[in-house]
């Protein structure tokens, strides 16, 4: 063993040299990866801060462009007294058409309502004939024509109803209802619905109605436009027509722009003109924008409920000149401009101006509140990519850590395997040294005795009566050598060959083994007690199994100092296997050595000082023979002192 340690030193040093640099490199790699991850996060946040600066700059530029009246800004030109210089609305230019004789109109309408309520449509229709021809009272005549057309349709006189509506459109194109809706629009809609080109005529009507509505107060026209747009949408869905769809889209754009003007005109007298008249403090201010009371069906209308308008003006001589724009439009335009920037999209950021008091859907990477007049908003930079970026960093870190851990584990496994190999080599070296010591010890005695007897015989001075005794002793020593060689050969054979199979009865094998060992045991004062509790039949190598039992008995005799009765018991175990149990009152086996004594060349104590002959192969043969037969060999302490050795074998469920 002392000679083997210098050989193991290079191996141990190699393991240490391999493990230590690996651990050091892993630590350096972890530190570098963590540092790089922190730098990447810092770069990501710096890019977000740069985008905030850019977004704030774009917002300031957008406000400045509004002041110049550029882009989507509405003109905001005022006199010093606050009067808007953008002109008058179309509604103010409309003729105020009313019945020439209101009393006559109210009386006639009451009479018609009574006849209609009584179901007297024909008399009502005839009663309106004269009024429909009253050219001196256009409002009365237009109402009469429209009402007669409705009654004619209800009476089933469709052609006459159509003719009355065409007459209304031609004679009174500007006549309006008391709510402000052009009667001609209603007539044209009913005519279009019965026309072969209904969709085209309704599209033309939609274009005209869009241009007619001038104020938010004209709700009757607004309701008519909305219903007409819904009907057109349904018709184009059922029967797609690209040309008509393009005309409708053009009218939608006109309607959206006029809607902006209507909201702007309605908002003017609600604080804007007063602010201008008082000197337009600050040059820019945000005002609540009046909402349209009628919801629009126009998909291009960008009106936002509770929207506000930014008005920016500068003094130019005796006037204030500037522009106005809805905050929702300005904010959307600024955000869209940033979103279209390839640098922004490539980084995966989401940039936007959001109301300051609105909670963010996710925590922004960077944010900043804008200065007045946009102080109700803040610039936010966020997006899913920051979470993805952090997740990617964590994933990369995890993969790297996992890879390094795997390398370390492989290194540990390699080191462990190397150390195991080294340990096995040490054990093998110890076993070889033990084997050499044991074999040397075992061989020297019989060889010395045989040589001594041979020399005596060679000299020829042996008394005749001693020749037989010396010859017998020479034979015993030769048998001892043969048993040693046979043990080594049997162990090698069991490692490489299959056992032969022949039927046996376990009790019979135990009896043969006892008979083999009993003469030697009797000489030393020992006795045997054989108990065959069960008749157990199996299949295997009878001679090998008998030899295994002999080895157990010989081992019990060898390590028993005081003569006593050795008990041999053959019985069936609880698991159904057959067992041969050898119970002695010998020295016993130290705790922890119960399994190791079955290893080859394993003996207790120092091979050079042991007081019992043997090379440590007997119990190893027992275990090998048991395993070759699908069984096992084990040992455990016996209560009261000594040991119990058990040979367990597979046997049939019952004797034949």
Query: For residues 154 and 121, what is the distance between their CA atoms, to the nearest angstrom?
Result: 8
The rounded mean pLDDT for the chain is 80
* Interior angle at CA 510, CA 508 and CA 512, nearest 5: 70
- Read off the pLDDT band of 551 (50, 70, 90): confident
- Read off the pLDDT band of 609 (50, 70, 90): very low
Give me the pLDDT at residue 431, please. 58
- Read off the pLDDT band of 309 (50, 70, 90): very high
For the segment 513-522, the average pLDDT, to the nearest whole number, is: 86
Contact between 11 and 422 under an 8 Å Cβ cutoff? The reply is yes
Residue, of 473 and 177, whose pLDDT is higher: 177
Give me the pLDDT at residue 349, please. 75
- Read off the pLDDT band of 392 (50, 70, 90): low
Does 33 score more than 60 pLDDT? no
Q: Is the dihedral of CA 36, 41, 46, 47 positive or negative?
A: positive
For the segment 33-40, the average pLDDT, to the nearest whole number, is: 62
Does 630 score more than 80 pLDDT? yes
For the segment 557-561, the average pLDDT, to the nearest whole number, is: 84
Q: What percent of the chain clears pLDDT 90, i.e. is strictly above it?
A: 28
Query: For residues 48 and 54, what is the distance between their CA atoms, to the nearest angstrom?
Result: 10
Nearest Cα neighbor of 628 from 504, 513, 505, 498 is 498
For the segment 562-568, the average pLDDT, to the nearest whole number, is: 90
Does 297 score more than 70 pLDDT? yes
Instruction: Point out which residues pair with 176 in neighbouring strands.
Output: 182
Give me the pLDDT at residue 72, please. 86
Q: What percent of the chain clears pLDDT 70, i.e. is strictly above it?
A: 72
Give me the pLDDT at residue 337, please. 67
Residue, of 332 and 151, whose pLDDT is higher: 151
Structure tokens at 454: 């041979």
Give me the pLDDT at residue 137, please. 85
In this structure, what are the phi and psi dihedrals at residue 633, rounded to the nearest 5 degrees?
-130, 135
Give me the pLDDT at residue 90, please. 45
Residue, of 340 and 145, whose pLDDT is higher: 145
Residue, of 594 and 494, whose pLDDT is higher: 594
- Read off the pLDDT band of 567 (50, 70, 90): very high
Give me the pLDDT at residue 401, please. 67
Give me the pLDDT at residue 95, please. 47
Give me the pLDDT at residue 491, please. 55
Please enumerate, as own/partner, the contacts of 2-10 that have beta carbons within 8 Å and a separation of 24 or more: 4/425, 4/426, 4/429, 8/422, 8/425, 8/426
Structure tokens at 624: 């090998």
For the segment 44-66, the average pLDDT, to the nearest whole number, is: 85
Residue with tokens 């110890």: 430
Q: SS3 of 89, please?
A: coil
Give me the pLDDT at residue 497, please. 56
Structure tokens at 369: 């509140």
Residue, of 413 and 103, whose pLDDT is higher: 103
Query: For residues 386 and 363, what is the distance between their CA atoms, to the nearest angstrom?
Result: 10
Query: For residues 650 and 645, what is the distance between their CA atoms, to the nearest angstrom?
Result: 17
Contact between 577 and 631 under an 8 Å Cβ cutoff? The reply is yes
Give me the pLDDT at residue 214, please. 85
Q: Is the dihedral of CA 413, 417, 420, 426 positive or negative?
A: negative
Give me the pLDDT at residue 208, please. 95
Q: What pTM was computed for the model?
A: 0.53
Give me the pLDDT at residue 197, please. 92
pLDDT digits (tens, 9 = 90+) for 172-198: 999 998 888 999 999 999 999 999 999
Mutual angle of helices 5-67 and 327-339, in 10-degree steps: 140
- Give me the residue spans of the domains in the chain: 498-649
Task: Give Cβ neighbours of residue 336 (< 8 Å, ≥ 6 apart).
Answer: none
Give me the pLDDT at residue 513, please. 87
Contact between 566 and 521 under an 8 Å Cβ cutoff? The reply is yes
Query: For residues 431 and 599, what is the distance between their CA atoms, to the nearest angstrom?
Result: 10
Q: Is the dihedral of CA 140, 146, 152, 154 positive or negative?
A: negative
Give me the pLDDT at residue 485, please. 65
Does 67 score more than 70 pLDDT? yes
Task: Give Cβ neighbours of residue 502 (< 8 Å, ≥ 6 apart).
Answer: 539, 540, 541, 542
Contact between 360 and 334 under an 8 Å Cβ cutoff? The reply is no
- Read off the pLDDT band of 413 (50, 70, 90): confident
CATH topology (fold) of 498-649: Heat Shock Protein 90 (3.30.565)
Q: Which of 107-111, 228-232, 260-264, 485-489 has the lowest mean pLDDT?
A: 485-489
For the segment 530-537, the average pLDDT, to the nearest whole number, is: 88
Does 437 score more than 50 pLDDT? yes
Contact between 368 and 343 under an 8 Å Cβ cutoff? The reply is no
Q: SS3 of 25, please?
A: helix
Does 239 score more than 80 pLDDT? yes
Q: Is the dihedral of CA 188, 194, 196, 198 positive or negative?
A: positive
Contact between 537 and 503 under an 8 Å Cβ cutoff? The reply is yes
Give me the pLDDT at residue 165, please. 94
Does 520 score more than 50 pLDDT? yes
């Amino acid at each position: 063993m002392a000679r083997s340690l210098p050989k193991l030193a290079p191996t141990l040093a190699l393991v240490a040299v391999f493990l230590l640099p690996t651990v050091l490199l892993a630590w350096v790699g972890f530190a570098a990866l963590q540092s790089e991850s922190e730098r990447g996060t810092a770069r990501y946040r710096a890019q977000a801060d740069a985008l905030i600066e850019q977004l704030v700059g774009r917002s300031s530029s957008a406000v400045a462009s509004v002041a110049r009246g550029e882009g989507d800004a509405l003109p905001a030109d005022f006199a010093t007294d606050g009067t808007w210089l953008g002109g008058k609305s179309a509604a103010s230019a409309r003729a105020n058409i009313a019945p020439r004789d209101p009393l006559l109109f109210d009386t006639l309408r009451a009479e018609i309502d009574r006849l209609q309520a009584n179901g007297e449509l024909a008399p009502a229709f005839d009663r309106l004939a004269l009024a429909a021809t009253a050219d001196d009272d256009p409002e009365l005549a237009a109402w009469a024509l429209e009402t007669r057309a409705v009654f004619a349709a209800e009476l089933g006189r469709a052609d006459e109803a159509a003719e009355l509506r065409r007459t209304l459109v031609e004679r009174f194109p500007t006549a309006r209802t008391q709510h402000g809706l052009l009667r001609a629009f209603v007539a044209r809609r009913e005519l279009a619905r019965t026309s072969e080109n209904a969709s085209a005529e309704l599209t033309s009507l939609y274009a005209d109605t869009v241009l007619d509505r001038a104020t938010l107060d004209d709700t009757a026209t607004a309701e008519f436009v909305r219903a007409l747009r819904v009907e057109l949408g349904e018709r184009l869905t059922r029967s797609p027509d690209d040309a008509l769809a393009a005309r409708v889209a053009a009218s939608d754009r006109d309607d959206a722009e006029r809607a902006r003007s209507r909201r702007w005109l309605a908002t003017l007298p609600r604080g804007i003109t007063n602010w201008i008249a008082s000197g337009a403090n600050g040059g820019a201010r945000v005002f609540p924008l009046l909402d349209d009371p009628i919801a629009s069906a126009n998909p291009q209308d960008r009106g936002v409920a509770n929207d506000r308008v930014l008005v920016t003006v500068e003094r130019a001589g005796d006037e204030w000149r500037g522009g106005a724009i809805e905050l929702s439009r300005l904010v959307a335009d600024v955000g869209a401009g940033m979103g279209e920037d390839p640098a922004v999209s490539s980084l995966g950021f989401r940039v936007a101006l959001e109301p300051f008091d609105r909670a963010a859907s996710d925590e922004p990477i960077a944010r900043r509140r804008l200065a007045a007049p946009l102080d109700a908003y803040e610039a936010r930079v966020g997006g899913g990519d920051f979470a993805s970026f952090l997740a990617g960093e964590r994933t990369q870190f995890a993969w790297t850590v996992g890879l390094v851990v795997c390398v370390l584990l492989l290194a540990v496994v390699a080191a462990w395997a190397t150390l195991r190999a080294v340990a096995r080599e040490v054990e093998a070296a110890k076993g070889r040294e033990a084997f050499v010591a044991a074999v040397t010890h075992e061989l020297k005695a019989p060889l010395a005795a045989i040589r001594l007897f041979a020399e005596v015989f060679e000299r020829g001075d042996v008394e005749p009566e001693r020749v037989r005794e010396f010859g017998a002793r020479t034979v015993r020593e030769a048998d001892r050598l043969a048993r040693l060689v046979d043990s080594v050969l049997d162990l090698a054979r069991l490692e490489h060959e299959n056992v032969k199979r022949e039927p046996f009865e376990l009790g019979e094998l135990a009896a043969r083994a006892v008979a083999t060992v009993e003469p030697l045991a009797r000489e030393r004062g020992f006795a045997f007690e054989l108990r065959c509790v069960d008749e157990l039949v199996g299949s295997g190598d009878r001679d090998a199994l008998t030899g295994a039992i002999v080895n157990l008995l010989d081992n019990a005799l060898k390590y028993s100092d005081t003569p006593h009765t050795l008990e041999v018991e053959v019985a069936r175990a609880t698991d159904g296997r057959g067992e041969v149990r050898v119970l002695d009152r010998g020295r016993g086996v130290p705790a922890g050595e119960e399994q190791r004594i079955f290893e080859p060349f394993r003996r207790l104590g120092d091979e050079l000082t042991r007081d019992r002959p043997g090379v440590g192969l007997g119990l190893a043969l027992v275990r090998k023979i048991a395993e070759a037969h699908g069984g096992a060999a084990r040992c455990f302490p016996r209560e009261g002192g000594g040991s119990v050795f058990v040979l367990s074998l597979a046997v049939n469920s019952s004797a034949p």
